Amino acid sequence: MQSSIDKLHTTGHRLTPQRRLILDILQESAARIPSEHLDAETLYIRAKARDTNISLATVYRSLALLKEIGLVQQHQLGEDHGHFEPIQENLHFHFTCLNCGQVIEFEAPEVLGIVHGLQNSRGLQVKEMHLHLGGYCSACLNNGADGIAATSSSSS
Amino acid sequence: MQSSIDKLHTTGHRLTPQRRLILDILQESAARIPSEHLDAETLYIRAKARDTNISLATVYRSLALLKEIGLVQQHQLGEDHGHFEPIQENLHFHFTCLNCGQVIEFEAPEVLGIVHGLQNSRGLQVKEMHLHLGGYCSACLNNGADGIAATSSSSS
DNA sequence: GTCCATGCAAACTGTTTGCACGCGC
DNA sequence: GCGCGTGCAAACAGTTTGCATGGAC
C-alpha cells in the first residue's frame, strides 16, 4: 500500500512541510487517543507549536485537500464545527454524550448490510457513511446529571 | 395524542402566531414533499410571505424551542447549515447525492438493533440517531457525471 | 524558472445575542 | 399587568477567499 505522502504525489500535489505536519498531527492523535477527533482550531494550535508561521487558512486548505484525496475524513459530532480523523481501516461510528460531550467510538458492521440493500434496491452508490448517535453515557446517567429522564428516542 | 399546540402549552410556552406559522410551514412541507427538509433561510422566506414582519432571529429561536420540546428535529445533510423536519412517527434516515444534492429518505430498522446492543453492552442511553449516507444517486450515475468512479467507501 | 501553496487580512455564511417594545396569558 | 417573545441590528464562530510573496519540483 502506498504511503500518505505518495498519495499526495500521485494525485499531482506538492508535499509541503505544512501538509506533512498536519497529517502527522492527525495521525499521532488517532494513534494515541482514537476518540479525540481534532477540530481545525485545535489542529492549528498544535501545528503552530511546531511551525510558528503556519496559518489557519493553510490548515483548512490542507484538510480540504486531504479529504479530497481520501486520506482524512470529516465528521459532525454534535457541535457546530467539523472534526477530523485520518481514514481508518476498520469501519466505526460515533456516539456523543449530550451531557459531557464525550465521544465514544463503536463498530456496527450491520450498516454494511443496510448500504448493500440500498445499492441493490435503489441503485445508489454509497461513498460515505455516518452513523451518529446522541444520548447519555453511563457515567452521566449514574451521576443523574441535568434533565436526564425519558427513554424515548428520535431518529434521522 | 396531544397536538403540537398543546405541547407548547404543557411545556410552559406561549403559542404565538410566529411559532404556529413556523410549525405550519414545516408540517406542510413534510406532508407535500417529505424529502424537502427546509433550512432556516428557506423557512424564513416562506414565513415572511405570510407574515412580513417576522424576523430570521425568531425563526431560529422558534426552531430551537420546537427542537427542545421534541416537535422538530435538525439534520446535517452534507451542507454547512442545518435542515429541519417535524418529528415523524416512522424511523427513517437520509442519503444525499454528492453530485446533484438530492436527498433520499430510507428506512433501516436494523439501526434499532445496533442501538439496543450499545445500550446493553455499554450502558448508553441513546436519544438521537442519525444515519447519513453520501454518494451518487442512480440518475447521476447514469449520466456519468463528474469524477464518479471507484466503488470504495469510507466510514464514520 | 514555473506554478502551486502559503500567510495575511478581509469577506462571508450561518447562527446567536442585547436591548427596548409588544402581546399572550 | 406581568413577563415571555419579538424585531432589529450588532456580534459571533467557523470557514473561505483575494492577493502578493515564497518555495516544491
Residue B153 confidence (pLDDT):
55
Residue A146 has pLDDT above 90, yes or no: no
Confidence bin at A3 (pLDDT 50/70/90): confident
Reference A4, options A75, A67, A58; nearest CA is A67
| Pair A29, A21: CB distance under 8 Å | no
B154 vs A73, A122, A137: nearest CB: A73
| pTM of the complete model | 0.90
- Phi, psi at A21, each rounded to 5°: -60, -45
Confidence bin at A106 (pLDDT 50/70/90): very high
Rounded to an integer, what distance in angstroms lies between the CA atom of residue A43 and that of residue A25?
Answer: 7
Q: Which residues of B touch A93 (CB under 8 A)?
A: 155-156
- Please indicate if any CB of chain A lies within 8 Å of the CB of B115: yes
With residue A130 as reference, give the H or E element that holds it: strand A125-136
Rounded to an integer, what distance in angstroms lies between the CA atom of residue B53 and that of residue A64?
Answer: 40
Rounded to an integer, what distance in angstroms lies between the CA atom of residue A132 and that of residue A105?
Answer: 10
> How many other CB atoms are found less than 10 A from the CB of residue A103?
18
Q: Which residue has the cell 434521522?
A: A156
Which residues partner with A105 through β-bridges?
A: A94
> For every one of its 156 residues, what pLDDT tens digit does chain B have, with 9 covering 90 and above?
568 888 999 999 999 999 999 999 999 999 999 999 999 999 999 999 999 999 999 999 999 999 999 999 999 998 999 999 999 889 999 999 998 989 999 999 999 999 999 999 999 999 999 999 999 999 999 886 555 654 445 666
Residue B139 confidence (pLDDT):
92
- DSSP letters, B3-51, are -HHHHHHHTT----HHHHHHHHHHHHHHHH-TT--EEHHHHHHHHHHH-
- Please indicate if any CB of chain A lies within 8 Å of the CB of B70: yes
- CA-CA distances (angstroms) from residue A52 to A38, A45, A46, B75? 19, 9, 10, 37
A125 vs B106, B141, B156: nearest CB: B141
Chain A interface test: which of B11, B75, B128, B142 (most A C-beta within 10 Å):
B128
B154 vs A93, A128, A133: nearest CB: A128
Per the rule left: phi > 0, alpha: psi between -120 and 50, beta: everything else, A50 is alpha
Residue A150 has pLDDT above 60, yes or no: no
CB contact under 8 A, B93 and A148: no
Residue A69 confidence (pLDDT):
95
CB contact under 8 A, A118 and B134: no
Residue A147 has pLDDT above 90, yes or no: no
Rounded to an integer, what distance in angstroms lies between the CA atom of residue A30 and that of residue A85?
Answer: 7
* Cell, residue A112: 454494511
Residue B91 Cα, gap to closest chain A Cα (Å) = 6
CA of A21, C1' of D21: distance in angstroms: 22
CA of A60, C1' of C4: distance in angstroms: 16
Rounded to an integer, what distance in angstroms lies between the CA atom of residue A64 and that of residue A56?
Answer: 12
Rounded to an integer, what distance in angstroms lies between the CA atom of residue A26 and that of residue A74?
Answer: 12
**Average pLDDT of the segment spanning A74-103:** 93
Reference B95, options A92, A125, A75; nearest CA is A125
CA atoms within 13 A on the CB side of A145: 14
Strands (E), B13-149: 38-39, 72-76, 82-86, 93-97, 103-106, 125-136
Rounded to an integer, what distance in angstroms lies between the CA atom of residue A110 and that of residue A113?
Answer: 5
